[in-house]
Amino acid sequence: MATIPRTRSAAVGLGVLLLALVVVIALHRFEPVGYSALAGKILRSLHGPGFAAIAIAVGLGARDWADGWWRIVLAFAVCVSISLLSELSQVPGPRNAEVADLVVDGAGILAGLALVAGLDSSLNFGTSPWTRRAVALASALALIAIAMPTLQLTAAISVRNANFPVLLSFESTLERELYAGMQTPPPVRVPKPKGWPTDGVMIGNATASGRWGTMLALAPYHDWKDYAAVSFVVASGNDEPVDIGVMLRSEKKSFYRQFTAGPDPRRVRIAFADIIARRPDFDLSDVRTLVVSAAEPGEPYEVLFDDFRLED
């Protein structure tokens, strides 16, 4: 009769594990609709912390399944199986299965189980108590490192929401998380020149000389349908005027407009009524990227800009 509670507890643990497997696979199959690019980054960053949490839960729950180090080995096998199944579930689409995700999952699993082992006095770490302490400390530091991208992205989305409807101000280094993939380095934050017509103390300094001439690719908050325009302040980085192009992209459509940036800063504005007049099918509720580029790619450009914002 003494084995009944353990058997019942193991059954409950198995049920929770199956539920966790369903949740993990559902999250891997889920393709965010209506999410901003930054929210999507946060979702993808949960691989490491999420599997660390699963590993800790499975490691603690496996006490009813096995004893000693076999419990850690069993928990590792279970967690790796969940990771593999979750990635395989993405093969049919819409998301892509990636080996890199398995590596991040594995790092979270190892760190989580190392913490469980380091805090478990029933496991044999040899005669020196410092071995156990070192394992616990190293695993805790590893978990902090694994969670750091998620924490940083969460802080970035908090900064973005606090500044909205400002899309980019260059006042916080966390705004770099708002950049989309670029073929060139992102703008450099520099102190604003005397007489610059915006609040704050920093602006962006961008250069372009490559094939595409991209100076900024921003993945902003995506739903612009309740606003009338997007604008920003721009100036040439030298005494010569330069032509720049601004492209807005939704999921399937794009809109392009060209401006001239002179030595004196000015605010340029793209009215959404003009966009709809030229591209009636442009979806202002799902703006994916805002790209600022040289109008003549290949020519050396230096441009200063600041205060990208939505206007009522």
- Domains belonging to the chain, first-starting first, are 3-163 (no CATH), 168-311 (2.60.120.430)
Asked whether the predicted pLDDT for residue 139 surpasses 80, the reply is yes
Report the chain's mean pLDDT, rounded to a whole number: 84
pLDDT tens, residue by residue, 210-233: 566 888 888 888 889 999 999 999
Distance of CA 110 to the CA centre of its chain: 23
What is the mean predicted confidence (pLDDT) over 104-115? Answer: 93
What is the mean predicted confidence (pLDDT) over 182-190? 80
Average pLDDT of the residues in 193-198:
90
pLDDT at 307: 95
Q: What is the pLDDT of residue 3?
A: 45
Confidence of residue 272 (pLDDT cuts 50, 70, 90): very high
Average pLDDT estimate for 266-286? 92
Token pair for 35 = 């999410």
